[in-house]
């Protein structure tokens, strides 16, 4: 998999390229990263990438051309690496986009990667978006000062799903939101010591009884999801992912399971 990022702050991407699970996966060659700074695609001495908004108002707007030339360079880089390059999603980080979720991360992990566009300032000239962008993606209903943190989150969430990225292949399966399994929230985790400030690890987890442990985890997931994200319970039910035992347990929770 290959990600290409168009950003005024390419240094920020050392965080995913060099550290942790994604850093190790990068070293293993599971994914590669191309960084393209729109400033390198300007023609004036000030290397201008932004200008004032037409119609007035505060702030500055990123100009279309340096971004478009950066995308073209990214495409050429991808084509040099794999022939044919195939359809490459061009994803704009934007608070007005579709909310990013685990299903989108899974889709990306199954594909060849994407070109990620990071805005800064007030935003980006709409003509660049209309001509180049295939998807607009939001991290949530809040405003970041740039698209970099959104792009980092997307890369991290997709790369950790690549076969071989996580030490234990099953751990991604147990994560929250995994649509292949249940789409529920993950159950709580405990590690040593067995007693911590007078609180002990739940008895089921130290019982050594695998079936009971699985039931405990499942019920914790169901209870947590019912309390915090009833929408995910409804979606799992609709997708046929809840067993008779799950439904019985949810009914036993009473009001909070509705
Ligand atoms: N004026 C814009 C916000 C611009 S913030 C608005 O009100 O919609 C500057 C840049 O940060 C954006 O171009 C975008 O790339 C990025 N950004 C901000 N919030 C984001 C979010 N929730 N998700 C993804 N990208 C975001």
Instruction: Return d(Cα 166, Cα 189) in angstroms, integer.
Output: 18
Span 219-251, pLDDT tens digits: 999 999 999 999 999 999 999 999 999 999 999
Domain ranges of the chain: 2-160, 170-255
| Residue 113 marked in a binding site | no
Class at the top of the CATH hierarchy for domain 170-255: mainly alpha
Closest C-alpha to ligand 1, atom 21 = 95
Mean pLDDT of the chain: 95
Instruction: Return d(Cα 120, Cα 8) in angstroms, integer.
Output: 8
Q: Enumerate residues lining ligand 1, CB below 6 A.
A: 93-96, 118-120, 122-124, 138-140, 142-144, 146-147, 150
Q: How far is the CA of 138 from the centre of ligand 1 (A)?
A: 8
Active site residue 95: yes
| Residue 104 marked in a binding site | no
Supply the DSSP string of 6-56, one letter for each residue: E-S-GGGGHHHHHSHHHHHHHHTTS-EEEEE-GGGG--STT---EEPPTT-
- For the chain, give the percent of residues with pLDDT over 90: 90
Q: How far is the CA of 10 from the centre of ligand 1 (A)?
A: 17
Active site residue 38: no
| Residue 100 marked in a binding site | no
Q: What angle do CA 177, 181, 186 make, to 5 degrees?
A: 45
- Identify whether the C-beta of residue 144 lies closer than 8 Å to the C-beta of residue 152: no
CB atoms closer than 10 angstroms to residue 191: 7
- Asked if pLDDT for residue 169 goes beyond 90, the answer is no
> CA-CA distances (angstroms) from residue 181 to 36, 108, 143, 156, 196?
37, 18, 32, 21, 32
Q: What 3-state class would DSSP assign to 97? A: strand
Structure tokens at 209: 């009884």
Q: Which CATH architecture has domain 2-160?
A: 3-Layer(aba) Sandwich (3.40)
Q: Considering only 60-74, 148-162, 167-181, 223-237, which range has the smallest mean pLDDT?
A: 167-181
Q: Distance of alpha carbon 209 from its chain centroid, rounded?
A: 35
pTM: 0.94
> CA-CA distances (angstroms) from residue 71 to 7, 16, 22, 103?
11, 21, 24, 25
């Amino acid at each position: 998999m290959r990600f290409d990022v168009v950003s005024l702050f390419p240094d920020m991407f050392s965080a995913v390229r060099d550290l942790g699970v994604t850093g190790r996966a990068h070293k293993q060659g599971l994914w590669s990263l191309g960084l393209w700074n729109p400033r390198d695609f300007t023609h004036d001495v000030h290397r201008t990438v932004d200008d004032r908004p037409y119609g007035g108002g505060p702030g500055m707007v990123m100009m279309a051309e340096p971004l478009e030339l950066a995308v073209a360079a990214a495409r050429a880089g991808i084509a040099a690496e794999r022939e044919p390059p195939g359809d490459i999603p061009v994803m704009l980080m934007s608070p007005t986009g579709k909310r990013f979720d685990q299903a989108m991360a899974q889709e990306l992990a199954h594909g060849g990667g994407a070109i990620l566009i990071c805005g800064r300032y007030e935003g980006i000239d709409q003509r660049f978006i209309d001509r180049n962008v295939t998807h607009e993606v939001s991290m949530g209903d809040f405003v970041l000062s740039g698209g970099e943190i959104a792009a980092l989150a997307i890369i991290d969430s997709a790369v950790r799903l690549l076969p071989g990225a996580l030490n234990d292949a099953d751990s991604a399966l147990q994560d929250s939101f995994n649509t292949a399994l249940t789409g529920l929230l993950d159950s709580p985790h405990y590690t040593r010591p067995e007693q911590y400030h007078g609180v002990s690890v739940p008895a089921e987890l130290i019982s050594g009884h695998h079936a009971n442990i699985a039931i405990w985890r499942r019920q914790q997931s169901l209870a947590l999801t019912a309390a915090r994200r009833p929408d995910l319970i409804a979606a799992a039910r609709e997708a046929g992912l809840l067993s008779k035992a799950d439904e019985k347990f949810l009914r036993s929770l009473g009001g909070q399971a509705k």
